[in-house]
Structure 1
Amino acid sequence: MTKAMVQTEVGGPEVMKWQDVELGSPGKGEVRLRHTAVGLNFIDIYFRTGLYPAPLPMTTGMEAAGVIEEIGEGVTGFSVGDRVAYAGRPVGAYSEARVMPADILIKLPDSIDDKTAAAMMLQGMTTEYLLQRTFHVKQGDTILFHAAAGGVGLFACQWARHIGATVIGTVGSEEKAELAKAHGCTHTILYREEDFQKRVMEITDGKGVPVVYDAIGQETFEKSLDCLSPRGLMVSFGNSSGPVKNVDLAILGAKGSLYVTRPSLMTYTAKREDLEKSASDLMKLVGDGAIKVNIGQTYPLSEARKAHEDLEGRKTTGSTVFTV
């Protein structure tokens, strides 16, 4: 037996229950992994609420670090005792231990501890594909990144600074503005007090930006389009304020032949070689000190409901890690 956060219905944080679950042996292509640290991400809320459907009962969570305890048939490249981390489906990270596919695991170097690994994989590899593949950010570019003091935002500010790009970031408070600036954000906009579209145009002398990265969704989508330069790209990779609905494609033409994409980490790391390259690029920058993983808060895994409340209430900064 092991313990996990289990839900039999979708809804608020209260649907998650800390309880005993059976843990079998790994099958073909699987390992049994004992978790040492688990990461919290907004996508966990999407699964908990049913926005992203999953079979019930379920345990949410897509990111963790741990130690391999048993290996199933056909698994190569891993050994019992290996320290590993992962980010991606299948869900189930909110558990003390789990049986899972080996093909999404990445070995951890000695230089990266378990809490750091659990805080960096999903958000860090998301940043990798956003800045290097969805839109190739180059030295001299100016980009707009919403929620710049959030988990992905702090990775993105540092990665863009490493590239030599300028980041305009929206934040919810002066405290978050200072945090974003400390991680490489050049210009911060307090979105509750300022018109972010107007400020972006002031900062860019009316030119706009070639790309907007937006995980907020409904609240920011339309104004974000007005921040883009002609033929600019709107990257909608989350919807913390609600999903974007009923987009009139003609608006994209009227606003400058704009592009819109809705990428996901699962697609960008579906091939093993892409997963390994993304993780390698991330670990190199973390190892070199170009990116520092900001763990803003930690909770015992048994208190996941409280962590979800704080994340939804926009009370968190940086990455959040559960201790196991």
Structure 2
Amino acid sequence: MAKTVIIEEFGGPEQLKIVDMPVGEPGPGEVRIRHERVGLNFIDVYQRTGLYPLTLPHALGMEAAGVIEAVGEGVTHLAPGTRAAYAAMPPGAYAEARVMPAAHVVPLPDDISFSQAAAMMLQGMTVEYLFHRTTPLKAGDTVLFHAAAGGVGLIACQWAKSEGITLIGTAGSDEKCHEARANGAAHCINYRTENFVERVRELTDGKGVDVVMDAVGADTFTGSLDCLKPLGMMISFGNASGPVPPFSLAELASRGSLKITRPTLFTHIAEHETCMSMANHLFEKVISGAVKIHVDQRFPLDAVAEAHQLLEARKTTGSTVLIP
């Protein structure tokens, strides 16, 4: 049996329930992993509220790190006793242990702690695909990144600096802007006190940025389009303020033949080999020191509802982990 967080109805943090669930043995292509640390992400909130529907009841949680306890037939890249980490479907990481598909579980280098791994797999591989698999980016390019002091944002600030890319961040306080700049953002705009569109235009001499990376959604979408230079790329990869409402494709033409995409991590890691490649690229960045993982909040698994409340209120910085 393993303590596991589930929801039986969509709604607020009060819907999170802790139950004892049988774990069982891994079947072909599966592993059983005992979690040391579990990551908290905004996708967990989307699933809890029903924005991303699940068949109920359902466990939550998309990433974790721990030790492999058993492997099923056909699993060759993992063995009992292997330190491992993952960001993967289906949800179910908010648990002491689970059985899950092995294809997206990767061996964890000894140089990376369980807390670091649980805080970085989903967010770090998201940054990897944003900078390397979505649109061509090179040294000298300029990116606007919203929520630059969040878990994904702080990794993105460092990643951009390590590759000579100018990152302009936005955040909701001067303190968060300071943190984004300390992690490599060339500039950070406090959107509560400044108009980020006007400020971006000032910072780019009126040209706009090459790429916008926007996980905020409804509140920033139109302004994000207005920050792009002609032929620029809008990457909408989240909905922290709510989903983007429908809009006319003609808006892209009138703003300078803009491009737009709505990617997800799970499309990118669908193939085992690609997942391993992305994870290893992330591990290299962390082990080299180019990217440091900020675990700024830690909660016991029993306090998962409180962790959700703080995340939704945007009162967290960096990454948050749960301790089973």
TM-score, with length taken from structure 2 = 0.99
2:33 match: secondary structure: strand
Structure 2 counterpart of 1:210: 210
2:263 match: secondary structure: coil
Could you tell me how far 1:225 is from its partner in structure 2? 0.4
1:3 match: secondary structure: strand
Could you tell me how far 1:127 is from its partner in structure 2? 0.2
Could you tell me how far 1:136 is from its partner in structure 2? 2.6
2:133 match: secondary structure: helix
Give matches, 1:192-203, under 5 Å: 192-203=192-203
1:320 aligns with 2:320: yes
Partners of 1:37 and 1:48 in 2: CA distance: 20
1:20 aligns with 2:13: no
1:65 aligns with 2:91: no
1:140 aligns with 2:140: yes
Structure 1 counterpart of 2:303: 303
Partners of 1:186 and 1:78 in 2: CA distance: 40
Partners of 1:135 and 1:191 in 2: CA distance: 26
Cα offsets for 1:228-268 (capped at 9, x unmatched)? 00011100000000000211111110010111100000011
Gaps of 5+ in 2: none
Give matches, 1:46-125, under 5 Å: 46-125=46-125
Structure 2 counterpart of 1:174: 174
Structure 2 counterpart of 1:162: 162
Could you tell me how far 1:135 is from its partner in structure 2? 2.1
Could you tell me how far 1:28 is from its partner in structure 2? 1.3
**What is the aligned residue count?**
324
Tell me if the contact between 2:78 and 2:106 (Cα under 8 Å) persists in the aligned partners. no
Aligned letter for 2:229?
A: S
Tell me if the contact between 2:85 and 2:121 (Cα under 8 Å) persists in the aligned partners. yes
Aligned letter for 2:241?
A: S
Gaps of 5+ in 1: none
Could you tell me how far 1:163 is from its partner in structure 2? 0.3
Partners of 2:6 and 2:274 in 1: CA distance: 31
Could you tell me how far 1:157 is from its partner in structure 2? 0.4
Partners of 2:109 and 2:251 in 1: CA distance: 48
Aligned letter for 1:207?
A: K
Tell me if the contact between 2:77 and 2:107 (Cα under 8 Å) persists in the aligned partners. no
Q: CA RMSD in A?
A: 0.8
Tell me if the contact between 1:128 and 1:278 (Cα under 8 Å) persists in the aligned partners. yes
2:59 match: secondary structure: coil
Question: Would you identify which runs of 4 or more consecutive aligned residues in structure 1 move more than 6 Å?
Answer: none
